Structure 1
Amino acid sequence: MKILVIGGGGREHALCWKIAQSPLVAKIYAAPGNGGTDLEDKTINIDIKATDIEKLVEFAKTEKIDLTVVGPEDPLAMGIVNAFEKEGLRAFGPNADAAQLEASKAFAKEIMIDAGIPTAAYGEFTDLAAAKAYVEKHGAPIVVKADGLAAGKGVTVAKTSEEAIAALEEIFVDNAFGEAGSKVVIEEFLDGEEASYLAFTDGITVLPMVSSQDHKPAYDNDTGPNTGGMGAYSPAPVVTDELFNFATENIAYPLIRTMSDKGITFKGIIYAGLMVTKNGVKVLEFNARFGDPETQPVLSRLKSDIVPVFLACTDQTLDKVEIEWDENPTVCVVMASGGYPKSYEKGYEITGIADADKLEGVKVFHAGTETKNGKTVNTGGRVLGVTACGKGLEQTIGLAYDAVEKINWKDVHYRKDIGAKALKRMKK
């Protein structure tokens, strides 16, 4: 088979790496890929942007691509799956209607309410005055979200009303997120511990993956601005077997059934961002694709061939698929450019990646990199996802950071506490 993987981040490198392990696959094209995908077995980077749907369709037809796997949210929201299917091409991911689940937080909230999925109380607004009045009425802490896609940066967990109003002004007045901020969702603050629930679905059947936990804030102890994710590990001890089963039966299945009732068949990945509170689990948000950086540790635990799972999702035969997982934990530490998620410098040479990759149980996934004159340089905010698989969580965290210490470039930044919450919970 020939596979096309769309996207150029750490998630897409992990997908190329996992797909390359399939005996069904002869060649993989990454569009546009990155400095890591270009080095991956069976994989070739092609210079087409993930959002250039017309060129991607043309490439898939010319090269007779058997399956396209869409990584990022933007092309999904733009209707890339619709465009491929219209041309008789097989693509893994939700169509434009289903992708609204991530592309519009207001749409997702409406689905949750209709489906009876537990979530935070909220209001939605299209003007600053009404939004301010809501904040002043309800007080802080409170959560402000740009309605549309903002690369994981459109959410402010405001500790004070002043902070919430400043976030609203950034969205409405400064136009920080463009069209994505034409509407805002303001939610009650939920106190608890976050976790990520991912599952494959063909619109009828749900096949859960293993649990994981992302780390959104930029700095240790969950401080600083929200990012696209500074690290993740799997499994997440906060997700008990009971909670995991609850998420499947009371969140994932009601979601796809309610969307089906509205005439929307959701095929692809269900990603539910969960908050585990003292009053039970509630959904913070839905994504319509693999999480990043959760994909790196989760797929590192997948023992089964992923390609038949993708095919079953597109063909609606997921009920016939079983998957096997490695019981050992995995930890991914994101190494970022200094200044991320705000402004940062690009083009610095990165050293030590090969040394880190030589450590047993370590895989360095590239995100914001490219090869220039034979050297790997940083080209994005999140640059590498250093991922380790070990025999126990403490040992695995240590292995991940041993690998991180071998890698360096100017102004590199990473959190030093990825997995600490899990260790603390386990010791309790």
Structure 2
Amino acid sequence: MKILILGSGGREHAIGKKLLEDDHSIHLYFYPGNGGTSIIGKNIENHHTVLDLGFFAKKNAIDITIVGSEIFLLEGVVDIFQNLELKIVGPHYLAARLEGDRIFAKSFMKKYGIRTPKYNIFYCYEKAMHFLKKNTNSVAIKTNGIAAGKGVILAHNSYEYEKALKNMMIEKKFGKSGDQIIIEKFLKGKEASIISFFNGKNIIPFLSAKDYKKIGENEKGLNTGGMGSIVPNPYMTNSIWIDFKKNILEPTLKGLIIEKLTFFGFLYFGLMITEDKVYLLEYNTRIGDPEAQTLFPLMKSNFLKIIQSSFQDKEIYIDWKKLCSCCVVLSSRGYPEKYESGKIISGLNSLKEPFYVAGAKKKQEKWITSSGRVLNIVGIGNTLKEARKKAYDQVKKIKFENLYFRKDIGL
């Protein structure tokens, strides 16, 4: 079987490793891939558009394509592949707007009674500033479009309001994504990620995860694509799970079916758990990163069979190991803003599985950094404490210039 995976990060390396673990005979292709994916499969080159990728998949008889990165989804890759009669895991363009268009997603939540924080939409910098000048509470200011996981700024005072708005709407730090913004009521609580598989009829949730989004310890500083994660999330109690299913998952499923936004692929619920309720902050229409790297080592079921079951209209069951996992992201100092690449990495060959390459490549038999997030180190244990210790013991083996990582993942 030939499988093509679209994306270049640790998530895509994790998807590939899990597939090979379940079936050694699979042939993997990645676009664009990274240094880790080139070891377990073939990185393909010179396919600059999603149509090029479709022709590649057709010509090379790719059996299934799995979309890792949201960028491809919002370029309509699923629609193009389906028009070419190719099997692909991911939402068509209209459904991908649940991630790529926050205003569309918020309208969907409101229409179907999905519990989400109160919000206001602005298309004009002056009107947004006027609204915030009358506001004395903390807010979350969000770009409407995607921004590599960095398009949310929490603002607690007038200086922070103004800085965030200027970044998004005047200086265009996030490009066109900041043309329209959402100002949302700030909720105090604990975040949770529920990644699920949607087979067009049912939403099957994975284990709960906790993502650490900020660059600094104690969730301080700028938003990133994720600096670590743990599974399961200790704050997802039984009562919160029940609340989530009743007030978020079930009305989401109802809305997807009514609006004809059904697809075979992943649906990610970004949640905030307050003292007594759970709220939906956002949808993603692909598996999260670094949550994928933390979840796959605990998945007992055959991942390929889960995917095939959706295409074959079979029920999906997912078995999990009764263990805990902790993923620590090693990054280049300066990320998520300016950072230097091309630094030699030592110790990678001494790592024990599971670990994943995110932004590194091999050059003349040496591993070098090539992106902001470089490696994902995962520890597995009977308790979160044990998993955390194993992850950080592994981290000690890695050295490169300007190495940075958070020391509080899982605390």
- The verdict on a shared fold, with TM-score over 0.5 as the criterion, is yes
Residue by residue, what CA displacement relative to the aligned partner does 1:290-343 show, whole Å, maximum 9, x if unpaired?
Answer: 00000001111101111121123345x25x221110111011000000000110
Question: Does the Cα contact within 8 Å between 1:369 and 1:383 map onto a contact in 2?
Answer: yes
* Structure-to-structure mapping, 1:145-156, within 5 angstroms: 145-156=142-153
Matching residue of 1:71: 68
Residues 300-379 of structure 1 correspond to what in structure 2 (within 5 A)?
300-315=297-312, 317-318=313-314, 320-357=315-352, 362-379=353-370
State the SS of the aligned residue for 1:210: strand
How big is each residue's C-alpha offset from its partner over 1:345-366, in whole Å with a ceiling of 9 and x where there is no partner?
0100111112122xxxx42201
CA RMSD of aligned residues (A): 1.4
Could you tell me whether the CA contact under 8 Å between 2:256 and 2:262 is conserved in 1?
A: yes
Q: Structure 2 vs 1, CA of residues 208 and 98 (structure 1 numbering), >3 Å: closer, same or farther?
A: same
- Could you tell me which residue of structure 2 aligns to residue 233 of structure 1? 230
Distance 1:249 1:198 in 2: 16
Could you tell me how far 1:25 is from its partner in structure 2?
A: 4.8
3-state SS of 1:346 partner: coil
Whether the 8 Å CA contact 2:272–2:279 is kept in 1: the answer is yes
Q: 1:179 aligns with which of 176, 180, 186?
A: 176
Correspondence list, 1:16-415, <5 A: 16-23=16-23, 25-40=25-40, 43-48=41-46, 52-315=49-312, 317-318=313-314, 320-357=315-352, 362-415=353-406
Q: Cα distance, 1:89 vs. partner?
A: 0.2
AA paired with 1:22? Answer: D
- Structure 2: distance between partners of 1:309 and 1:24: 17
Report Cα offsets for 1:144-183 as digits up to 9, x if no partner.
Answer: 0010010011110112122012111111110111111111
SS in 2 for 1:209: strand
Counterpart-to-counterpart distance in 2, 1:76 and 1:372 = 31
**Aligned-partner Cα distance in 1 for 2:245–2:372:** 33
Equivalents in 2 of 1:190, 1:386: separation in Å? 31
Assess if the C-alpha contact under 8 Å between 1:259 and 1:266 holds in 2.
Answer: no
Give 1:154's aligned amino acid: G
Aligned residues: 411
Task: Return the letter of the residue paired with 2:332.
Answer: S
Report the Cα offset of residue 248 of structure 1.
3.0
Q: Secondary structure in 2 aligned to 1:338?
A: strand
Deviation at 1:24, TM superposition (A): 8.0
Quote the Cα distance in structure 2 between the aligned partners of 1:385 and 1:164: 33
> Which amino acid is the alignment partner of residue 381 of structure 1?
G
Aligned-partner SS, 2:147: coil
Contact 2:101 2:146 in 1 (8 A): yes
TM-score (norm 2): 0.97
Q: What are the ranges of 5 or more consecutive residues in structure 1 without an aligned counterpart? A: 421-428
Q: Is the 8 A contact 2:9 2:358 kept in 1?
A: yes
Q: Is the 8 A contact 1:369 1:379 kept in 2?
A: yes
Q: Which residue type is aligned with residue 364 of structure 1?
A: F
User: Residues of 1 paired with 2:108 and 2:191: CA distance?
Assistant: 21
Indicate conservation of the 8 Å contact 1:5/1:70, yes or no.
yes
Distance 2:190 2:265 in 1: 26
TM-fit CA distance, 1:134 = 1.8
Percent pairwise identity: 37
How far 1:48 moved relative to its partner?
4.7
94-103 or 275-284: bigger deviation? 275-284
Deviation at 1:88, TM superposition (A): 0.3
Q: Deviations over 1:195-254 (max 9, x none)?
A: 101110112111110011000110111111111100001001100123223323431231
Q: Taking structure 1 as reference, are residues 48 and 92 closer, same or farther at Cα in structure 2, changes over 3 Å only? A: farther
TM-score if structure 1 supplies the norm length? 0.93
